[in-house]
């Protein structure tokens, strides 16, 4: 039997503090000697009852995925983990990982992904821990991991060759069982429990053309299994469906900037009735119709309004939640449905307690993430199937569905402006400039209106009463408009400044404007207030959604 090997490190790593979605760094940083291993050792040291437990391990297929999985298996074996579940090829979407954690009653899952960040040797890599409920590790766990990483100067592993991950099989390593499984089927079976694939298939085969862009990331095999193998469509409905270590040089972020070829097919050329895309690890989604882009905030509202059309939710939903920067369109729907609507900070982990307690069924964020209580992660393919089920039931186009929704509920004009990879000092200066003005902005005139609330958002969890403060700067106007400013924690180069603009409209003569036009006075007003163009030296944001 191979012996446990202790590996000494010359010094601790001081920069392994997980963000809202785990630890994300450049690929080259993770390739530094001992860097990955110390972080994995920190994760396992922070978990209770590791010995004899079950752990799920997989990733989105980006550069370094296989080698990282094999190293993690070696370290887990040294910690006497009972069973390690790894999907074939090491490919595992984040929502599918959440499902497997719950299916196998695992104590957690180690997910290798930097989500929507670019891949390849010159791109990014990431490691995220999901806990036993299938959701992202809460802050007290990630703080514990960080504390360990700051003092660790050694880790242990079983230095043996790990089997090739290509084929299914069962292996024994020291006292640990390694199970290499079909990582797709369990997720597909879960989707079949929720949706009526036969109805969706009949609709799609009746002159309703679709195209799905997997962006050379992890959802390609899942989409092929669902749309081609199960529903029976031609594989011509799939774009970029083969996972690649560098995502084929694509930026796997499903928005109008980075999925521009898909957007061109739907919005300009109008070649398909429906289009969708998912990001690197499969938890984000973008929905498009012929000539119609669906804002993620509107998508959450439409899904909530139509849950009764989906077999898995016919018994009703208990409530809905959105992140604070997400538009309040879903609030209007929740009011009509007479269900609670919760507002949380950005970060999927904040939905976990609400889902586990049964207070909500549906939840979503403006950053192209939507989900429900079927797992504890946002789920891109689930959202795509939800839309297709609604359209199959209503037998209408995406444009008709959106317009009818606005005519009934009103429209919350909404946009997000991202200034990516700007110097950190500039981003923090802009943020600090607004924070310093909050007190005097209360009651001030702004964009032909009056600011009635100017604050830094704080959240008290209704379940465990924990406080999360400093979650984003807010300006709320007396006409219901909102401007929000946040610094994003998902990038690895410089800083990303995010600005969110929202204005509600209920007039049926004012429901079909371009959001950039409808929100123009708010956009101009905040630029004048904070000198954003001048300080960033950018005339337009990097990404507008």
**Sign of the CA dihedral with 422 first, then 425, 431, and 433 last:** negative
Tokens linked to 104: 């196998």
DSSP 3-state assignment of 90?
helix
Tokens linked to 502: 């929202």
Distance (Å, whole) CA 26 – CA 78: 27
DSSP 3-state assignment of 32?
coil
Task: State which H helix or E strand residue 377 sits in.
Answer: none
Q: Considering just the CA atoms, what is the radius of gyration of the chain in Å?
A: 23
Task: State which H helix or E strand residue 179 sits in.
Answer: strand 176-181
φ/ψ bin of 494: left (φ > 0), alpha (ψ from -120 to 50), beta (otherwise): left
Tokens linked to 434: 């607004």
Where would I find the H helices in 86-214? Answer: 94-103, 139-151, 185-194, 197-204
In this structure, the strands spanning 411-422 and 362-365 are unpaired
Tokens linked to 339: 């269900």
Residues 57/76, Cβ–Cβ less than 8 Å: yes
Contacts of 236 (CB under 8 A, 6+ apart): none
Active site annotation includes 468 = no
Cα–Cα distances (Å) from 423 to 25, 260, 432, in that order, read: 17, 26, 14
Set 115, 297, 323, 327: catalytic member = 115
Spell out the SS3 assignment of 402-453: HHHHHHHHCEEEEEEEEEEEECHHHHHHHHHHHHHHHHHHCCCEECCEEEEE
* Residues with catalytic function: 115
């Amino acid at each position: 039997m191979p012996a446990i090997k202790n590996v000494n490190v010359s010094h601790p790593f001081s920069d392994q503090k997980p963000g809202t979605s785990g630890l994300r760094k450049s690929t080259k940083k993770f390739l530094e000697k001992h860097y990955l291993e110390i972080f994995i050792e920190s994760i396992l040291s922070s978990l209770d009852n590791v010995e004899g437990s079950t752990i799920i391990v997989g990733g989105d297929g980006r550069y370094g995925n296989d080698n990282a999985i094999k190293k993690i298996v070696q370290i887990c074996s040294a910690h006497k983990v009972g069973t390690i579940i790894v999907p074939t090829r090491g490919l595992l979407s984040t929502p599918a990982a959440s499902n497997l954690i719950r299916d196998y009653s695992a104590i957690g899952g180690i997910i290798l992904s930097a989500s929507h960040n670019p891949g390849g040797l010159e791109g990014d890599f990431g490691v995220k821990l999901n806990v036993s409920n299938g959701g992202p590790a809460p802050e007290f766990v990630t703080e514990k991991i960080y504390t360990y990483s700051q003092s660790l100067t050694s880790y242990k592993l079983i230095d043996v060759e790990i089997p090739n991950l290509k084929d299914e099989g069962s292996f024994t390593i020291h006292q640990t069982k390694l199970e290499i499984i079909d990582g797709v089927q369990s997720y597909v079976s879960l989707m079949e429990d929720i949706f009526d694939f036969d109805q969706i298939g009949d609709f799609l085969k009746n002159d309703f053309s679709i195209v799905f862009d997997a962006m050379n990331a992890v959802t390609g095999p899942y989409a092929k299994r669902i749309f081609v193998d199960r529903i029976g469509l031609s594989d011509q409905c799939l774009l970029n469906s083969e996972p690649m270590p560098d995502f084929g040089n694509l930026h796997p972020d499903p928005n109008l900037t980075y999925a521009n070829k898909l957007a061109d097919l739907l919005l300009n050329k109008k070649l398909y009735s429906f289009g969708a895309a998912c990001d690197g690890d499969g938890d984000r989604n973008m929905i498009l119709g012929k000539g119609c882009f669906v804002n993620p905030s509107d998508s959450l509202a439409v899904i909530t309004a139509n849950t009764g059309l989906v077999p898995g939710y016919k018994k009703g939903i208990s409530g809905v939640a959105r992140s604070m920067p997400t538009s309040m369109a879903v609030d209007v729907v929740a009011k009509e449905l007479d269900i609670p609507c919760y507002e949380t900070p950005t970060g999927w982990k904040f939905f976990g307690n609400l889902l586990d307690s049964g207070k909500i069924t549906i939840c979503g964020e403006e950053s192209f993430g939507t989900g429900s209580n079927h797992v504890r992660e946002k789920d891109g393919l689930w959202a795509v199937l939800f839309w297709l089920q609604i359209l199959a039931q209503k037998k209408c186009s995406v444009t008709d569905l959106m317009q009818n929704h606005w005519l009934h509920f009103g429209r919350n004009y909404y946009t997000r402006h991202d200034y990516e990879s700007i110097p950190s000092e500039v981003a923090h200066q802009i943020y600090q400039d607004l924070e310093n003005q909050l007190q005097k902005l209360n009651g001030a005139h702004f964009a032909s209106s009056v600011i009635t609330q100017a604050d830094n958002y704080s959240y008290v969890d209704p379940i465990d009463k924990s406080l999360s403060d400093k979650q984003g700067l807010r300006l709320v106007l007396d006409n219901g408009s909102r401007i929000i400013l946040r610094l994003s924690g998902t990038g690895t180069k410089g800083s990303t400044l995010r600005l969110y603009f929202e204005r509600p409209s209920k007039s049926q003569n004012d429901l079909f404007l371009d959001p950039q036009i409808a929100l123009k006075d708010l956009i101009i007003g905040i630029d004048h207030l904070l000198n954003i163009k001048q300080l960033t030296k950018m005339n337009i944001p990097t990404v507008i959604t």
